[in-house]
Every structure is written in structure tokens, then in C-alpha cells.
Structure 1
Amino acid sequence: MTYQDALDFLYPLHRFGIRPGLERVFALLDLLGAPQKRLGQVVHVAGTNGKGTVSASLASIFQASGRKTALYTSPHLVDFTERIRINGVQIPRERVVHYCSLLKSAVIDNHSTFFEATTAIAFAWFADEGVDVSIIETGMGGRLDATNIVDSDYVVLTSIGFDHTEWLGGTLALIAAEKAAIIKKGCSVFTAVSDPESLRPIRTMAARCDAPLLSSVTDAVCRVSAREPGMIELDISTVLRRYPALKVPLTGFFHASNVTLAVMVAESAGIGAEHISLGLERLLQTGYRARLEKIGVSPTVLLDVSHNPDGIRETVNTLCSFRHCYHQVWVVLGLASDKDAKAVVRELLRLNASFVVVPIPSERSASSELLCSLCQEEGAEATVFTNGREALASLRATAGDDDLILVTGSFYLAGDIIASGI
């Protein structure tokens, strides 16, 4: 089996779609010797938005402290191996081949999903490499997510919003309950959730599990002392100490609550201020990309993976603070068919932008024609291009030097742009 053979085996597993449940992933892990029991300290991260920021921040901080740190995230942008890293290094392709060879028959027999197979590969490699700590992102929800077979030392619940409602429920309380189900007996829980409807089931689950609950809203104070495109400086005070002048190479003050969560977890794990500061400065070395990432100048081009109304709202809020710097704003937009397109478009309209609508490179892509019509119905100027690469190339050739081009709406779209090298 070659690496391409392994991918050709894994990717078609998407045909099984989303199938919540833990029995199939347990079967795969049993075949590999139960690696989920050999992951070192485990930080399990769930939430509608912000998982990537918290996970990357924590991975970088733990690495800076000298601990061998595993990081499991999804989806990837360009290559499958991005999902599975130790100390920032992606899993070698030959190890993907090795674990695929071991799992292939069981995956076929059990009708395992892509995410279940990927989770088994990640946990097997982490265990075989003897990691000290594992930062594990949920794929979707929590209760029946394939990652919910770990015994967590720390649980982080970032935010609760409307996404994947067909699986998680149509109210914030139901969605929060699904995500809070990753809380385990005696673990420490950290959350940025503040609205009562979402917080109630989190508190209930934490109490049921005798798990102490800390909030970045009530148990810490974070001030953004400086911000500019590509860098924020935070002053964070927890119940134990103050962390002044933390430099974080991100754009947008909305990252502050997620970085605060990471600092609180790191502090609880006994990591000192020097390593916390150093880890945050090195955040991008974890492979964290496409969060309002500047990939071009004259015109400015920003690449962003926000893909639901709450995430887009935070992106737009940030860009509104810089809007006066740009003459015209262009939005290259591609969405999956299960997203609330109208809510996304209405948020983006606050930028007074012109839209270029494209399909995302996925069978789950929303119709470009329907999305374009929606933009026009909402009063925006909108056109359709065949793909994001052509749209961006055309805009770069025609937009003014003082214009802004925002490419947003999907991990798939961002990954295609990165892969193109445009």
C-alpha cells in the first residue's frame, strides 16, 4: 500500500457520512491495543467556534514547556497529515500507510466512517510515540463523537452556537448538552460560554461528574492592550496571577477569550508564565492557518475559514475596525450546503462589499447560482466564478492596490487556495 492508496481508501469513507456512535471506533482501537489509554495527559476541546485557536495555543504552550505534545484537529487544509501532529510535525506518510494496512479489514467490516478511521490512526501514532500530552479536538458535538473515548484530564468548551443542528439539536441548550457530554469524572472544565441557556447544561454535567468548572468570563480578565493586523497583545489576569503583554500572532480581538482559556488550562497544568508567553509567540509553528491570514498585499488578501454565522460575525467585527483602510472590499464566498447562507451573507453585508460566489471543492458544496441569487436578493452586487482560484486570480488582476479581498466560508475553499500557491 502506498500513501496514495491509503488516501484512496480513507477518503471514500465519507460516503458513510456522519454516523454518531462509539462502538465502531472502539472496535478499531481494540485492534490497535487500546491506544486511547496511552495518550499522556489529555485535553479534550469542543465548541462551535474557537476549537482551533484553543487547541493550537495549548499545543504550542505545552511544547514550549518541553513536553512531547500531540495535536489532533480537523479538517485539514491541504494534506491529510495536517490533522495529526506531534510537536508541530505532521504524521509521516509511511505511518499513515502502516496504520491503514492494520485497520483496513476492520474498517470495511464495521462500515467505519472517515473520522473514526482517522481518529484511530491518530491515537495509535500518539501512543506509539509516547507523547506526554494530547490535545484532542472533537469532530462534531461531543457525546457521540469518535474522540469521546478518552479519559480527559482537562475539558475545554469554547462557545455554543447554531451549527450541525440536524445532529445536535435546534436549541442552544440541546447543543450545549451534546458538547458538555465530553466532561469526565473528576476532570477540570474550562469554558468561555456565558449565556444562561448554554451554560446551564454545562454546569449540570460538571456537577454530575464532580468536575470543577472555571469560566474565562467570570474567573479571568483579559484586556487587548494592542492590536494590529497579524498581532494582538493581551493582558490576562486569572485568579492566581497576571500575564501582561502576551504577544499572539493573530488578527482579531475575538481570539482573546480562546487564548484566555488556553492560559487557564496551561496554568492548571503547572506551566509557568515564561513558557506560556513563549508558546503563544510561537503559535503559528503548530500549523495553525487561515484565520484572517494575510496571503497577499496590493491588494490585501485575507484567507479565513469561518463558516457559520457566529464565526463570520466575529470576522466581520474585526474587519469593520480596519474598514476605513480600504477603498473597496471584495468577498470570495463559498459555503457548504448545510450552512445558514442567508445569515452568513447578512453578516458580510456589513462590510459594504461586492461578492464573488464560488463552489467549494466538496460534494457538500452549496449551489453557487443559488448563493449568488441570495446575495443579490439581499441587495449586494454578486457574480459567479467556476472556482476560488480563478476568482482570486481575477480579482488580484483588477482590484486596486488599496482594496481588500476576503476569501471565506469554508476550510475546503481555503485549502484549495493554499494548495494553488496563488
Structure 2
Amino acid sequence: GMKPGLERVFRLLDRLGSPQEHECLVVHIAGTNGKGTVASVVASMFQAAGKRTGLYTSPHLISFRERIRVDGQMISGDDVASLVSLMKEGIEQEQATFFEATTALAFEYFRRQQVEVMVLETGMGGRLDATNVTRPRYVVIPSISRDHTRWLGDTIQGIAAEKAAVIKPGTEVYTAVEDSEALGPIMKRTDETGAVLHQLCDEVSIELEGHSLGSLQFTLTTPGRVYHSLVAPLTGLFHISNLALAVLVAEHAGLTDTEIREGLRLMRRTGYRARLEVISRDPCTIVLDVSHNAAGIERSIDALLEVCSSTGNRCVVLGLADDKDATGIAGHLARFADEVLTVNLPVERSMDAERLAEACRSHGIAASGRTSVCEALDEARGKAGPGGIVLVTGSFYLAGEVVRIDMPGGAP
């Protein structure tokens, strides 16, 4: 039967002839942090293997079209328009949400494009997420922590159970989760469905060879192979577990060492960006980050402290949605920032910049609100000065604004 909460998206898909049942390999990625990274790397690896690969991610930085890609290419504006007009009546009659409609549109586009692999990132949660309408061959759960506390219930077990619901009979499940509270519901779900659970800590060993701002190099040993000196264009040791999960999936699916290596090296061609991405190095380094919860920001700060010289001023531009843990986030920023400039996000659910500045000040950081992202960025550049660093973090929306203002890398 249909699950309550998924009826609308199923009815929308029925009207299209159930494109989610298109015969292909499905990789479904659920969890709190690391989803986008795993999705991009897995998609890049299958592309390197010559498989026609659909990638569905959210949210976007600048353009809605970023969410739906085939072989790295965004869906065209024309294709969006024609699919929306095809689906318009159904969307209205079913009163579908934005995410439900977008997800159905992605499945229909992928079917029309005859993809061989679909890589799907859940929106929020898992059990009732609009993406939870397929039978995935692989499920990856990179991490579990508290993010949207007001939606998913407050316990780690509750959050993990929501995410684990994307596991189906016949799924190979890969996770880096080690915390017993979070692992419990994942193990329970794999038992119930007869899926196979692979825990990263049991299956790989990692030898770090080098890391800097924008690059990781490491040797990875899996049950089947040794991957010598893999290189990824990423900042932060915490990413290695995400990358290792992607390698395990690709290896299990039959990809070669060469394909896996190339997929890793070229992962940015999937449109992946704004994860501790350096968008300018002169006169000061500007780093763009989409971390938006305490666990993600903690990892980003750790990563920057590992690779940044101790000299130079450090300024942070911060904007958060109003359901985030501002105090917890400020505590992590206090280890890094000389000063924080807070901004309102260009969305209704923005946390007030002054309230955010107050949370930072309560941790002893010099902090004050600014009226616009543009103004905050200019001022942060000045405060960082030559050799300094500006970190822009807290939200996809904020990162998108900065990409718009500062288009040296061009639109994604």
C-alpha cells in the first residue's frame, strides 16, 4: 500500500506513467552531512565508467536547474518548462509541494534521457521524503546528527530511523555512522528488509598522504583492492570517509581502479561546489561553505584550522535559517574567527542577524549585523586584509548570494 505522506508524489508519478520504475541502477543517499559530496563523487565515478548518469541533488546555489543533471549537464530551461507544463494540472490537482513536484519532474527527465544510473539525494529525512519511491541497489548514509530539529523529532535514534527507511529488500547499505544510538535503527532496518550492511570502519583502512586548501591525497585499502595515492579536489580530512563510501559503492558495482580514480579527480564536473571552496586567493583567501548545522560547521572549522597558516586575520560572514542551533554554531566559530559579520538570509525563515550576532558575542567573538551580503563581504575582505581569510558559511542561500556577487568562477 501507499505510505501516508507519499501518496501525493506517487499519484503525480502515476500520471506520468511511473518514471521512477525506469530500469536502471539506483543509488540513494540519506543522512545529515556529506550527502551532496557522496552523491557528486558517485555520479562522477559512474560517468567516468561511461554510464549515462542522472544526479538529483538539493538545494541549489543559483539556478533551479542545478538540481537535475545528466552526465554533469544541468537540465535545460526549455526542458524544465515543457515538463512543468506537462505536469501542471497534476501538480495543482494533487496540491503537490515544490519538492514533490521537482522530484517527480527529475524522474520523468531521467527516464526520457534513458539514464543507466540514478544518484538521488534525499531532501529532508527519508521515510516520507519524495525521493523514497524507488528500489535502490545501494543506499549510502554518510552521517547522522541533529539538523532540522523541529521536523524530525529530537533524538538521534529518531533521526536515524527516518533516514534508514530508504533501505529496501536487496539493498547494499554503506555507512560511516559509528555512534551506537544512530547505528541501532540502521541495523534494525537492514535486518528487517534483508539488506546487507557494510560499515566503513570494518571495510577500509586509510593512509593520509597530504592535505591542503583544495586538495586531499590518500591511499585507501578496501577488501578487494588497494587504491594508491587517490587525489580529490577537496578541503578537510573529514571528507575522506565520504569519499571512501563512494569508492566502496563503485567497486561493488564493478568499476575499475582507473574509473574510480578519474571520478574522484574530476568530481567537480558534476557541479559540486561551495564546500570549503576557495573562490579567491588575492589579496585575501575567500572560502565559500554551505555547512548549515553545528556538526557541519565544526568539521569545516577543524578543516580550516588544519590547513590555514596561523598568521593573518580571520573573518566570518554568517547567515542561518531560524531553526538552527546558533549558540552551538557560535561555539565552533569562536575557535577560528577574529570577527563575525552576520547577515539576514534572502528567505523568510532567516534567523535575525542581530540575534545571531548576539549568540556569537556570548561566546566572546566580536560580532555585528550587516544589512546586505554584499556589504558584509566587502567589509570582511577589508578586515581580513592581505594574507587573511574570509569564511562565508551557514547556508546554501548565502553561498548562492556570494557566487552571484562574486562570479569569478562563473555560474555553476
Structure 1 length as normaliser, TM-score?
0.94
Residue in 2 that maps onto 1:15: none
One of 277, 281, 290 as aligned partner of 1:305 = 290
Instruction: Kindly state the Cα deviation for residue 326 of structure 1 after the two structures are TM-superposed.
Output: 3.5
| Equivalent in 70, 90, 93 of residue 109 of structure 1 | 93
User: How far off its partner does 1:399 sit?
Assistant: 3.2
- CA deviation after TM superposition for structure 1 residue 39, in Å: 5.2
What is the rounded CA distance, in whole Å, between the counterparts of 1:70 and 1:39 in structure 2?
A: 13
2:356 paired residue number: 371
Equivalent in the alignment of 2:275 = 291
- How far off is 1:316 after superposition? 0.7
Contact 1:84 1:122 in 2 (8 A): yes
**Structure 2 letter corresponding to 1:237:** T
Aligned partner of 2:339 in structure 1 is 354
Partner of 1:187: 171
User: Contact between 1:39 and 1:126, CA under 8 Å: does it hold in 2?
Assistant: no
Provide the rounded CA distance (Å) in 2 between the counterparts of 1:353 and 1:45: 36
- 8 Å CA contact 1:224–1:256 kept in 2: the answer is no
- The answer for the alignment partner of 1:99 in structure 2 is 83
Aligned-partner Cα distance in 2 for 1:322–1:41: 38
How many positions carry a matched residue from both structures? 403
Which residue among 41, 53, 58 is the counterpart of 2:42? 58
- Which of 144, 151, 160 aligns to 1:167? It is 151
Q: Is the 8 A contact 1:224 1:233 kept in 2?
A: yes
Question: Partner letter of residue 237 of structure 2?
Answer: F
Aligned partner of 1:183: which letter? I
**Is 1:212 aligned with 2:196?**
yes
CA distance in 2, matches of 1:399, 1:119: 41
Number of the residue aligned with 1:84: 68
Percent identity, aligned pairs only, is 47
Q: Deviations over 1:145-197 (max 9, x none)?
A: 00000111111111000012222221111110110000000111100000111
Determine if contact 1:39/1:134 at 8 Å carries over to the other structure: no
Q: Which of the numbers 108, 127, 150 marks the counterpart of 2:111? A: 127
- The answer to whether residue 328 in structure 2 is matched with residue 343 in structure 1 is yes
3-state SS of 2:309 partner: helix
**For residue 264 of structure 2, what is the aligned residue in structure 1?**
280
Given residue 319 of structure 1, which amino acid in structure 2 is its aligned partner? L
Alignment partners' CA distance in 2, 1:163 and 1:292: 19
Match of 2:236 among 242, 247, 252: 252
Q: Report whether the alignment pairs 1:322 with 2:307.
A: yes
- TM-superposed deviation, 1:373: 1.4
**For the Cα contact (< 8 Å) 1:187–1:211, is it kept in 2?**
yes
Query: Which blocks of at least 5 consecutive residues in structure 1 are unaligned?
Result: 1-19
Aligned partners of 2:145 and 2:372: how far apart in 1? Answer: 29
Q: Which amino acid aligns with 1:204?
A: K
Cα deviation 1:29-85 (Å, max 9, x = unaligned): 111110000151000000100001100000000000000000000000000000000
CA distance in 2, matches of 1:385, 1:143: 39
Which residue in 2 is equivalent to 1:396?
Answer: 381
Amino acid at match of 1:101: S
Q: What's the secondary structure of 2:130's corresponding residue?
A: coil
The equivalent of 2:410 in structure 1 is none
Which runs of 5 or more structure 2 residues have no equivalent in the other structure? Answer: 408-412
Report the 3-state secondary structure (helix = DSSP H, G, I; strand = E; otherwise coil) of the residue aligned with 1:391: helix
Taking only aligned residues, the RMSD between alpha carbons, in angstroms, comes to 1.1
The runs of at least 4 consecutive aligned structure 1 residues that moved more than 4 Å come to none
Which residue identity is paired with 2:328? A
Q: Does the Cα contact within 8 Å between 1:185 and 1:209 map onto a contact in 2?
A: yes
Distance 1:171 1:395 in 2: 37
Letter of the structure 2 residue corresponding to residue 308 of structure 1: N
